[in-house]
Amino acid sequence: MNEIQLKLNDAGRGAFVIEENGVRIAEMEISIAGGNLIVYHTEVAEKLKGQGVAGKLLETMVAYVRKHNLKVVPLCPYVHAQFKRHPEQYTDIWNKEWHTAKP
Residue-number span of the structural domain to which 9 is assigned: 4-100
pTM: 0.90
Q: Span 17-38, mean pLDDT?
A: 95
Instruction: State the total domains in the chain.
Output: 1
Question: What is the structure's pLDDT at 97?
Answer: 86
Question: What is the structure's pLDDT at 42?
Answer: 98
* Structural contact between residues 73 and 36, judged by C-beta atoms closer than 8 angstroms: yes
- Phi/psi zone of residue 92: left (φ > 0), alpha (ψ -120 to 50 degrees), beta? alpha
Q: Span 22-27, mean pLDDT?
A: 94
Residue 32's pLDDT band, with cuts at 50, 70 and 90, is very high
65 has a pLDDT exceeding 60: yes
* Structural contact between residues 26 and 18, judged by C-beta atoms closer than 8 angstroms: yes
Mean pLDDT, the chain, rounded, equals 93
* Structural contact between residues 14 and 49, judged by C-beta atoms closer than 8 angstroms: no
